[in-house]
Structure 1
Amino acid sequence: MVITKNLLPFALMATFPLSGVESKACPPLGAVLPPPRQPSKEFAVIEAVKSLKATFDKVTSRYNASAVSIGVQSIYEDIPFVDLHYTPPIKNKNSTETVTADTVYRIGSCTKVFTVLALLQQKNIRWDEPVTKYLPELKRNQAEGTDIEAVHWDSVTIGALASHISGIGRDLAFDLANFPVPFFQAEKMGLQPLDDKARANHCSGLGVTKACSKQDVLKNMPLRHPQYASYTAPLYSNVGITLLGLVVEKVTNKSLDQLLKEKVLRPTGMQKTSLNEPPVSDNEGFIPANDPTWSTKTGVFASSGGMYSSTSDMLSFGSAILSHKLLSPLATRKWLSPTSFTSSRGHVLGAPWEIQRADRLAPDGRIVDIYAKAGDLGQYHSMFALIPDYGIVVSVMTAGKEVSDEFFVQSHLVSQTLKAVIPALDAVTKEEAKKDFAGVYQDKESDSVVELAVDNGPGLAIKEWTVKGFNVLGNFTFYNIAASGKKLPGIARLYPSNLEAGSQKAWRMVFDQVDDERGEAFDEAAAYPDARCVNWGTMDRFNYNFAGLEEFVITVGRDGAAESLSPVGFGVTLTKQK
């Protein structure tokens, strides 16, 4: 599927031209302005959704047997601002007649997010513990062999399994020995013949194969060779998450199904979500024609890919995560963090997040992190994504033969959706910041002035900064006792942190380190991208009497608009001028 249409009319960005930046901005990681509180009511967002709808209609017009659902919701609103669904003319006779936000799909490996969440909710399970503490059978059943043949199970930790860096193999269910003639012609394809006794040791649950029990997994998984030593390189492992499901069940003495109902599904009102059994009758789900997956039971592997859900439920789930309703704020921040790299500059891994590092969404080209999880089961293909910088959740669900023939269809649809809505959300954040924060802050008694502006760069630009008659902005370099005398280039910018106390919100000032000319030369000569972007290492170098000179506190009113500003290290408070 190729979409070339610009999903956001350029006219929407006319207020924020793309030229004239004084130097390349390098913001800290995270949101550069507070996210919109009511995006569904904003003109830029409404127009972006209209454009997305036109593209959606064009794409789905080619589908005769595939359903598609796309939802996007802000955590600050109760309803989604993107709610698009397509019902194909060809489907299973028992399928729903009309696809809506409440239509149930199978979500495959998106299940892994729920399993890891259930693990994180158990405060007595530590991330660095070996899995053998809870499943000693893995070590007991280990066949003898060299390091090439035998996994060192004591070195496989809970955290390694959750983030696909344990080094163990991907699957048991898809072992070709599970599928006898005529389903798979092993010997004709050069593989060694297996006798009935050898075949009896295998299990899967797919198609005509024997389903696996917990005991089967703990007996057979130690027979699989390692792919890497643990903590070497990421390798996606379905059975790794299955093992975590068994750990959670052993610790809680409850089934994962029961645990999720108690701790996740009921608290978030997810009535159309379940594990391994459809939560609704067939006519409330979308069932592709000639696809048996709808009613397939994944058994012991359910914790890795056995869930059913709807667009509306997944949006509720994502909102609950970002609003800290399922984990504490600290635990949520830890969860929404990378754990390892991949060989792609655009992908890093979390637990079990597939984090996409996008530099093609925000108009200023900065990195926006997408915490996503894709899922595939038969002809069902879904993706669930959180974008913390903008406080939004995305759910894409598809099913059918046509979408199954496309390469990572759900990931493509998420990308196109975000390319439409993120520039619009970014425009809204600037408009709101201009209204709420831009302007002159003054304390006449101390002869102090700070002027903030919104321009085409990220954050708030500091245009003037004078304290007690001294030009702080023009002489900031000299607060460093080892100053060389060279002034910093560009402009200083303010970015919000996540620290607050009532009506007081903390912001951080960041100075660009080099001008465009020198920065471009440095980037060109470097062996890695974004070489000049080192502000994470240069922030907070200037402080006085234990307070950072880059710390700002903005006091806001009930409407969220700034009333006063304090550059903390200078001990003055400036009132916003009307």
Structure 2
Amino acid sequence: MKNALLALLGLMATAKGQANRYSPLLGPVFPHAANFSSNNAFHDMTMNLTTTLEDIILAGNSTSTSRSVINSEDTSFALQIFSSDTIGMDNGNNTLFQWFYTSPATQNSSSGVKEVDENTVFRIGSGSKLWTVLLFLVTAGEAHLHDPVTKWVPELQAAINAAPGDDSVDYVSWEDVTIQELASHLSGVGRDYAFSDLATMDPDLTGEGFPSLSKNETPPCGVTAPCTRAQFFDGITNTHPIAPTSYTPIYSNAAIQILSYALEAITNETYDALLEEYLFEPLGLNSSYYTVPADNVGIIPRNASTSLWNLSAGDETPAGGLYASIKDLSTVGRAILNNALLSPATTRRWLKPITHTASPSYSVGAPWEIYSFENVDGRTVDLYTKSGDLGAYSSMTALLPDYNIGFTILAAGPGTTELVAALTDAVAQSLIPALELAAREKARQIYTGVYSGQGTDKKNSSLVISMDNGPGLKVTQWVSDSQDMLQVAEALTGSDSLEVRLYPTALQQKRDGSCLMQSFRAVFGSPTTSNKFIGPVTGSSISWEFVDSYKYGNVGVDEFLFELDTGTGKVVSVSPRALRQTLQKA
């Protein structure tokens, strides 16, 4: 058991550039602000973001001398910010903010739509992977994630049997590959078979230094026509592995294609039928397609061939071939945040990193691309995203589970990959501070104040909760039966400059139809300055190791329970649960 002095060391942490650093638990430090659109921080954010978008478009005009991430003459895009808490808003689709830009080239196009709106259909490229993994969780569930893929894909078991002995350099060890490793790019399988093979694009590259290939060495499919299942497995089982399983993340379209075959075997239904039954129909995705839709519903830069609008991805569609509108993309994101198709427990497990990349701020999930932003108070906020690129199209779905907010981006035209990346940064950097300010202000209104009552011996008991520039709710006074509990806590932790801060745990329960009980946990510690740290060990937040360390009668001294009136949204009381007290808010 770690002693109190080590506990105190672990409670040092956070904001880079601040004089003091705090150590909150992972997750939001305040309950998220419902009705974010009514908050002043939201209005400031929309004004700032609007100005940013206008500047991006202006800089992309051919007459501009500024470097831009957009070719404003040829590239169009759509953007939406949505919340899972905005049901009943005037626009009818729960959208907090939206922006559409239609380029002159689109306005004058001979095919496709002439103006971009929320129902305009784009290709979403690898954004399809997110829908495929969601579909897997909805239909097959989590129970199969750790199944070896050979259990469901007979071609891979046959490849093991046909392999010339144990050769892990030239052949994938398919018996080691699980479905979750396919979903999270940890299978060690290469990126594609045939689709981007140079030999299929130009049969003679000998003048470029490549040797000539026999007919058997050149993929028979991929560019001119999608590979059949037989062609795909004939090629992928003879493709060299990149790495052993779970060694390093390697982005793989082929892995998601194999996952879709496993899904069909588990459910005994085709992928497109599952998509229609479990995503399109339940969520009302009226502008989403598995196959090439009619030209008049979509945006088609230049023409259908050069943009890859009409390219059939065949069996690779689950990895990168779907079509959707910005409204449908947002609907799927909102359904994830709302647990509309999955249980809250499944969603929480899904919205977690599975592996790191070489960048400390970039992790990988299944199939999430997870970016860690430093918030205004220095703590980490994770942005769960899935991007996609195909031909002239790029997409982005981004979720902020800490705030129940997400945003989506679709773009069509030249240079869309760079544009969508820049727009994602611009939105996140405007949105996250605004969400934190809104949550902070809402918490100030609801939770701060004086709470009082009588203890077990009919003596005075009280709690004063305030807020400063640090994270969470700060306990500035705490008296139980006329005893100063902050002094008691200092004695327990061995600190003479203790701070007690309360953080929400996301545990809550409605009771008696009129009240909502919300659980918070306290972190007992002291802010400290960054010059105390030598390296990552001494500088790391280890507050999570000491939650529930001090108990009284099997109840944590750090456990606090707020009672809110569901009619008014106001706090009625707080219970420091180890003390068996209920203190009423003045």
- TM-score, normalising length from structure 2? 0.88
Match of 1:152 in 2: 173
Q: Could you list the per-position Cα deviations for residues 361-382 of structure 1 after superposition, in whole angstroms to 9, with x for gaps in the alignment? A: x321211011100100011111
Question: Is the contact made by 1:23 and 1:490 (CA closer than 8 Å) also made in structure 2?
Answer: no
Q: Secondary structure at the match of 1:81?
A: strand
| Alignment correspondent of 1:429 | 439
Secondary structure of the 2:541 match is coil
Query: Is the 8 Å Cα contact of residues 21 and 456 (structure 1) preserved in structure 2?
Result: no
2:149 alignment partner, one of 131, 144, 149: 131
Gaps of 5+ in 1: 1-17
Bigger drift between 385-394 and 453-462 goes to 453-462
Aligned counterpart in structure 2 of residue 93 of structure 1, from 94, 101, 110: 110
Contact 2:490 2:498 in 1 (8 A): no
| Farther off after superposition, 93-102 or 568-577 | 93-102
Q: Is 1:169 equivalent to 2:190 in the alignment?
A: yes
Gaps of 5+ in 2: 1-14, 61-71, 88-93, 511-515
Output the aligned Cα RMSD. Answer: 2.0
Give the match for residue 29 of structure 2: 32
Give the conservation status (yes or no) of the 8 Å contact 1:508–1:551.
yes
> What per-residue deviation string (whole Å, max 9, x for no partner) do you get for residues 492-541 of structure 1?
111111111211111111123x5424xx2343x1146x824111112221
**CA offsets per residue over residues 206-249 of structure 1, 9 Å max, x none?**
3xx23211222222211011111111111111100000011111
Cα deviation for residue 173 of structure 1 reads 3.1
Q: What's the CA shift for 1:390?
A: 0.9
Aligned with residue 76 of structure 1, among 75, 79, 85: 85
3-state SS in 1 of match to 2:237: helix
Deviation at 1:101, TM superposition (A): 1.6
Cross-structure match for 2:321: 306
2:572 aligned residue: 563
2:214 match: 195
SS in 1 for 2:47: helix
Cα deviation, 1:100-151, whole Å, max 9, x if unaligned, reads: 1221111100100111112212138522111000012113135426221111
The alpha-carbon deviation at position 175 of structure 1 amounts to: 4.6
CA pair 245-144 structure 1, distance change in 2 beyond 3 A: same
Given that residues 337 and 404 in structure 2 are in contact (C-alpha distance below 8 angstroms), is that contact kept between their aligned partners in structure 1? yes
Matching residue of 2:531: 521
What is the letter of the counterpart of residue 173 of structure 2?
Answer: H
* Match among 471, 482, 491 for residue 469 of structure 1: 482
- For residues 237 and 127 of structure 1, the distance between their equivalents in structure 2, rounded to whole angstroms, comes to 17
Deviates more, 1:285-294 or 1:458-467: 285-294
Aligned residue runs from structure 1 range 168-567, under 5 A: 168-176=189-197, 178-179=199-200, 183=202, 185-199=204-218, 201-204=219-222, 206=223, 209-278=224-293, 281-290=294-303, 291-359=306-374, 362-404=375-417, 406=418, 409-444=419-454, 445-479=458-492, 485-487=494-496, 489-502=497-510, 503-512=516-525, 514-517=526-529, 520-523=530-533, 525-527=534-536, 531-558=539-566, 559-567=568-576
CA distance in 2, matches of 1:446, 1:355: 51
1:4 match: none
Cα contact 1:381–1:410 (8 A) shared by 2: yes
Q: Give the letter for the 1:259 counterpart.
A: L
Counterpart of 1:339 in structure 2: which amino acid? I
Which residue identity does 1:127 align to in structure 2? L
Look up the SS of the partner of 1:45 in the other structure.
helix
Q: Give distance in 2, aligned partners of 1:234 and 1:22.
A: 37
Q: TM-score, normalised by structure 1?
A: 0.89
Q: CA deviation at 1:188?
A: 1.8
1:107: which partner in 2? 124
Who is 1:140 aligned against?
158
Question: What residue in structure 1 maps to residue 7 of structure 2?
Answer: none
What SS does the corresponding residue of 2:277 show, helix, strand or coil?
helix
1:458, 1:466 → 2: CA distance? 22
Query: How many residue pairs were aligned?
Result: 537
CA distance in 1, matches of 2:209, 2:346: 50
Question: Percent of aligned positions with the same letter in both sequences?
Answer: 32
Q: Helix, strand or coil: the match of 1:159?
A: helix
